[in-house]
Amino acid sequence: MCKAQSLWLCYAFFSPKKVSRLETTRIYNGKNMPNLVLLTRAIQIINTSIHLFHHHGFHTVGIDRIMKESHTPKATFYNYFHSKERFIEICLIVQKERLKEKVVSIVGYDQSTNGKDKLKKLYFLHSDVEGPYYLLFKAIFETKLTYPKAYITAVRYRTWLINFSGCQIIFIYDRRRNYSAFKLG
């Protein structure tokens, strides 16, 4: 099966009754692809597997175990995802988008805390072994050779985080400097 057919499954238009609105934007061959829309059943499988991958690793958790834990027939899994490689990539994309939302909410919407406390919250969010970043961190080490697309997804999040955090540090520094100049002037 070609990549385009594999992507079609994930970007297909499902009936509105069965669709949960978990969406992510993908870049494929340099182009923005439509949002990834997953069925509620697919999201349940993904959530179960994220838990299993987090605690047992990518190589020790097989499709059979995921299907047993999520109480789903194997045919349903292959209908949604086609392969374990594609499935792991989708799991990491979902986890990456969830983590991005948390980071943006900490930095952007929490006006009650100062910049230093926001950076502390970001640090603790990413250093918690039971937290959402651990799966992406684990993927960097476990998927590089066997699942290269999943590895790229994890690395892209890390790059985004570094750039986003750097921009926030500069913004905090500039705001503090301008405030000091305003206070002195």
CB 157 within 8 A of CB 136: yes
- Angstrom distance (rounded) from CA 88 to CA 80: 12
User: What is the per-residue pLDDT across 85-120, written as a single tens digit (0 to 9) for each?
Assistant: 999 999 999 999 999 998 888 887 766 677 778 888
CB 88 within 8 A of CB 150: yes
Q: For residue 51, what pLDDT is reported?
A: 93
State the average pLDDT over residues 10-31. Answer: 39
Q: For residue 110, what pLDDT is reported?
A: 63
Q: For residue 185, what pLDDT is reported?
A: 43
pTM of the entire predicted model: 0.69
Q: 3-184 in CATH: which number?
A: 1.10.357.10
Residue with more model confidence, 53 or 41: 53
